[in-house]
Each structure stands twice: as structure tokens, then as C-alpha cells.
A and B are shown apart, each in its own frame.
Chain A
Amino acid sequence: MLQILTVCGAGLGSSFACQMSIDAVLKELGVEAKLDHTDISSVGGAKADIILSGKNFEKQFERYNLDCPTIFLDRLVDKNEIREKLTPVLKELGAL
């Protein structure tokens, strides 16, 4: 199944809130996926098909060689922004 990972500083609060918003968006789109959230220190070893994080973490991601698409959000819990940015990636991966 499609794996989507959200990332924030401690991997507890805002990535989790973001994950719950993504969950709602995916339900609207009718896409099934396995969701999880983690902290920025652990993302180097993480396995996922799509990673989402806040814009403020964009530079941090440059340290890692991630081979999956990454999406950076201005507003972590804004469903419209998530839908807008996630839909093309889902189409590209053939999930939509």
C-alpha cells in the first residue's frame, strides 16, 4: 500500500496534525494509504512513497538523499493546500 510520511521537529504534534488532515483529504479523494509521522532526525532512514513537511524544513531535507517525492506545505493543516499539492503527486504515482 502507498506509504505517506509527515515530518516535523519532534515528530509528535504538528506532523501528527498534518497527518490527520491528509487522512481527511485522502478519504475525499478515495485513496487508500498507510500514514505515519516522524521527526526530522529520523527521516534519513525512513521508508515512504511520499513525504510531507513544513516549508520551514525544506533546507533540512537537502542533507538527505531521499528518492521519493517530497512536498513542503505553508500551512500544515490546510486541506485545500494539501489537496492541491498532493493530487499531482498521487497521479504521478498512479494512485489516483
Chain B
Amino acid sequence: MQILNFIIQNILTQAAVVIGLIACLGLALQKKSIGAIVSGTMKTILGFLVLSAGSSVIQASLAIFGDLFNKAFGLKGLVASIEGINGQAMTDLGLGSEIAITLAGIFIVNIVLARVTKFKYIFLTGQALLWESTLCVVFAYFCGLRGVPLILVGSIVGGAFATLMPAFAQPIMRQITGSDDIALGHFCTFGYMFTALISKITGNKSKSTEDINLPKSLEFLQDTYLSVMVVMVPFYLIVAIAAGPETCAQYCGDTNYIVYMFLQALQFVTGLYVLMSGVRLLLAELVPAFQGISMKLVPDSKPALDCPVLFPYAPNAVILGFIFTTIGSIIGMFLTPMLGLPMILPGVMSNFFAGGTAGIFANQVGGRRGVVIGCIAHGIFIMILPALLSPMLGQIGFQNMTCTDVDTVVTGFFFMIIKSITGIF
């Protein structure tokens, strides 16, 4: 009994250890050598700890930003960052072990569904699954579930999303790639299909974005962390100027408040960079294990891959999609307080990746005009949805952040509906 208690209290509640054990299991199932199993397990644990370190840097920077934003404008400002949400849920909220086990559960449910249904999609975008697993656990927790039921429900809902979302996007994916070999594995599918719908109604398919010559100077936007900086620095500086030197003084001490907030904006990017490096280490062993096992069990499966796999198909649409989604999200940012919700500051990562992919979808069905109108609508769409979810996230303990990827937001609504239905009985 003492041994069991020790295992439960010191091993199964330590998220880093749990995720290491899952990687260990994945490597053992692939019959890797002992050396590969040990090094893979250790690297996965290291990945989790790097992720946690990045998360605390993000949160320290956002805490200052959130407080000054509040003092400067008299309203709550939330930064849209699913990476930050994941970091905070895994570390501060103590849900790390549940998230890690649910991630493995999602793998299993995805394989089972791909095997028995006609949707043969295996979701291989590891970080997207990690975000989905995080949100499934967070919402199931919010609905009052704990322990094994929490993990089961989270795995089933997450696994269903992982199988069905690629199927949802596949009709347009077939047009873009000209084949049926790959699917889209990125939890922004509702946004893409919404964009495609608007674009189809308003656009003209014959005038493609790929016939335009875009200025070369825009290409730096492909550099993810650079473009995050380009957007976050102005946000932090606007807040610094609006709050004024006296209000900022409690944080910046003797440093000039503008310089201080400039560096804080870079701290946010630093945290993001570290967190993403952690995610890379964390997934380096898990994803190939999942791929290897799923290919054996579901031989006719189609891989659902991360959205930038599509970017070479229409690079101009990616840049334009990012720009017009950002314009839309800035409109959305001013709309959300009017609806009585907190002001959401656009998430640059999702504006780029989701915006770029939305641009490709819009171009495919509605050409240039479709990209402009569809992506502005997309930008508004991806701000309003997370804003609607933010009061609930606030109750759980996410004070300065909200979600980005809209499918994870839809997951949240799904849980809320289930909760209200079961509440009736």
C-alpha cells in the first residue's frame, strides 16, 4: 500500500514523469533498442520541463501587460495564445498528468475511429493534439469530472475531433492539393470552412492570388518569431504610453518605461520560443511512435498534417491571408468589448498559421476577392469565438489569456452544451 501511494503521489502526479512513461511505452512498442528508449524517454521529460520554463516566462510578461492594460484602458485585455493556455494548464493548474494521459488516449481513440469508420484520417500534428488535449481536460475539469472519467471523456472527445476535423476539410483539401493523399490536421477547421463559405459567395475563382507579384519585403512575415515580435512590440508600447510612466514605475523601477515594455514584449516572444522548443522535444519521440503504430493498425489511413504543408501550394495566398485575417482580427478586437466581453488581443501565431491557411482555402474557391473578404471575416470570427469562451476560462484560472484555435473553442462549447443538458436532469 505504501508503495502504491508513493507511485500515485510522486510518479503519476508528476506530469513530466507521466509523459516520459508514455514516450517510453511508444518506443518499446516500436521495439527500439534500450539506448534509444532511454534517450527518447529522457528527451521527452526534458521537453516537458523546457515547456514549463517557457510558460512561466510568458506568464510573467503577460501579468505585467495585463495589469497595465487594465489600468490604461479600464477594461480587461486578454492575449490570445493557445500555447500560453497549454503551458499554464500543464504547470500552474496541476493538470499536466491528465493532459499527458489524455494525449495518449486521443492517439488510441483516433486509431480506433480510423479503423472502424470510413474516416481514415490519422492526426499527426502533435502540437495541435497537445492543445486539443489541454482544452478537453480543462473543460471536462470545469464540468466537474476528475480522475479516470475526466481522462476517458477527454480522450473520446479529442479523438473524435482528431478524426472528424480532417474529414470536414477534405473536400476543399482535395481541390488544393489535387489529390486525396494528405489531409489537414490543424484545429482551426471551422474557421477555414467558414472562410471558404464566405469566399465562395463573394469571390471570383478565376482570378487567383498566385498571379500577382507581391512585394518581396513582405516575405519576412514567414519568419514566425520575427512576425510575433513585429506585432507584440507595438501592443506593449501602446499600453506603456497609455498607462504612463508613473503607473509603469511599479514594474520598471529605474529603467525607462518605454525601454522596459519593449523588452517585456521580447520576453513574451522569448517565452514562446522556449515553450515551442520544449514542445518540439516533447513530441519528437511521441509523434513517430504514433505514426508507426497507426500505419500498422490502419494500413489505408491518410495522414492529417500541419497546415504549413499547404503553404507551397499558394504562397501569395498565405501572405494575403495573414494580412487580411490580421485586419479582421483588429476589427474583432474592437468589437468584443462592445458585446460586453473582454478585449481580445489578436494572437499572432494563429493569425499567421490559421490566416495563411484560410487564405489558401479562400483563394481556392473565391480567388483574390474571396481572400480579401473571406479572410477579414475569418479574422473577426476567430476573435469573437474565443471572446465568448473567455469568461469560462477566467473562472478556471486563466487571467490574462484565451484560446486561439477555433476547433478547441468549439470543443469548449460542446462541453458547455453537454453540461447544460445533463444539468437539466
A and B pair up: yes
Interface positions of A (Cβ within 8 A of B): 8-14, 16-18, 20, 23, 37-41, 54-57, 59-60, 73-77
B-side interface mostly: helix
17 A-B residue pairs with Cβ-Cβ distance under 8 Å, sorted by A, are: A9-B222, A9-B308, A9-B352, A9-B353, A12-B126, A12-B306, A14-B305, A17-B125, A18-B309, A20-B287, A20-B288, A23-B288, A37-B280, A75-B177, A76-B308, A76-B309, A77-B303
* Among candidates B291, B306, B315, residue contacting A14 with C-beta atoms closer than 8 Å: B306
CA distance A9 to B357 in the complex (A): 13
Separation of A77 and B216 alpha carbons in the complex (Å): 26
What string of 1s and 0s marks CB contacts (under 8 Å) between B31-43 and chain A?
0000000000000
Question: Within 8 Å CB of B194, what residues of A?
Answer: none
Which chain B residue has the least Cβ–Cβ distance from A40? B223
A88 to B381, alpha carbons, bound, how many Å? 47
Residues of A within 8 A of B222 (CB): 9, 40, 56-57, 60
> Which residue of the partner chain, among B127, B177, B303, B315, contacts A12 with CB atoms under 8 Å?
B127
Partner of B224, one of A39, A56, A59: A39
Query: A75 to B182, alpha carbons, bound, how many Å?
Result: 11
* Smallest CB-CB A-B distances: 10 pairs: A13-B306, A14-B308, A9-B224, A56-B315, A14-B309, A17-B305, A55-B312, A41-B225, A10-B224, A54-B312
Which residues of A have CB within 8 Å of B352? 9
B152 at the interface (CB under 8 A from A): no
- Residues of chain A within 8 A (CB-CB) of B127 are 12-13
A-side contacts of B312, CB under 8 Å = 54-56, 73-76
Q: In the complex, which residues 372-422 of chain B have their Cβ closer than 8 Å to any Cβ of chain A?
A: none
Please tell me if B341 contacts chain A, counting CB pairs below 8 Å: no
Closest B residue to A18 using CB positions? B309
Closest to A59 in B: B219
B318, A56: Cβ atoms closer than 8 Å: yes
B311 within 8 A of A: yes
B contacts, CB < 8 Å to A: 124-128, 177, 182, 186, 216, 219-220, 222-226, 273, 276, 279-280, 283-284, 287-288, 291, 303, 305-309, 311-312, 315, 318, 349, 352-353
Q: Find out whether the CB atom of A17 lies under 8 angstroms from the CB atom of B318.
A: no
- B315 partner residues in chain A, CB cutoff 8 A: 55-56
B409 to chain A, nearest CB (A): 20
Output the nearest chain B residue to A56 by Cβ-Cβ distance. B315
Within the assembled complex, what's the spacing in Å between the Cα atoms of A35 and B225? 23
Whole-angstrom CA separation of A74 from B276 in the bound complex: 25
* Most B CB within 10 A of own CB, among A10, A40, A56: A10
Question: Do A13 and B276 touch (CB < 8 A)?
Answer: no
A12 to B129, CA, bound (A): 12
Which of B127, B224, B273, B309 has the most chain A CB atoms inside 10 A of its CB?
B309
Given contacts A55-B312, A73-B312, A75-B312, contact A16 B276 (CB under 8 A): no
B284 partner residues in chain A, CB cutoff 8 A: 16
Provide the bound-state CA to CA distance between A23 and B30, in Å. 15
A44 to chain B, nearest CB (A): 11
Name the residue of chain A whose CB is nearest to the CB of B221: A9
Most buried by A among B222, B283, B288: B222
Is B276 a contact partner of A11 (Cβ separation < 8 A)? yes
Among candidates A10, A17, A41, A55, residue contacting B303 with C-beta atoms closer than 8 Å = A17
Q: How far is the CB of B312 from chain A (nearest CB, A)?
A: 5
Contacting residue for B283 out of A16, A23, A57, CB 8 A: A16
